[in-house]
Amino acid sequence: MTHHKLPEVARRLARIEGHVKGIRKMIDEGKSYPEIVQQITAVRAALDGAMGVIIDDLVEGVSQSPHGKRKQAATELKDTVSKIL
């Protein structure tokens, strides 16, 4: 796998980490459940976005792999997608 998009994944996870800390602060401040759930939903969507970047990178890895390495790259893609589903 190329891991070309790993820096983008790291940036997204750093933002998600900050967002989760914000949710913890909301809890400490006694914010309402609807407000907290709204933010948790946003974090879930952000995690899905990070997984999407990883899948994109894996797909690119399959298409850009030398012929002899494509089966290995395709297996890695398949295994990763099966964990999501």
pLDDT digits 0-9 by tens, 5-15: 999 999 999 99
Where residue 66 falls (left for φ over 0; alpha for ψ -120 to 50; beta otherwise) is beta
The residues spanned by each domain of the chain are 6-84
pLDDT of residue 40: 99
Considering only residues 37 and 2, tell me which one the structure prediction assigns the higher pLDDT.
37
pLDDT at 58 over 60: yes
Instruction: Calculate the CA dihedral of residues 23, 85, 8, 76 and round it to 10 degrees.
Output: 150
CATH topology of domain 6-84: Methane Monooxygenase Hydroxylase; Chain G, domain 1 (1.20.58)
Q: What is the mean pLDDT of residues 25-38?
A: 99
Per-residue pLDDT band for 2 (boundaries 50, 70, 90) equals low
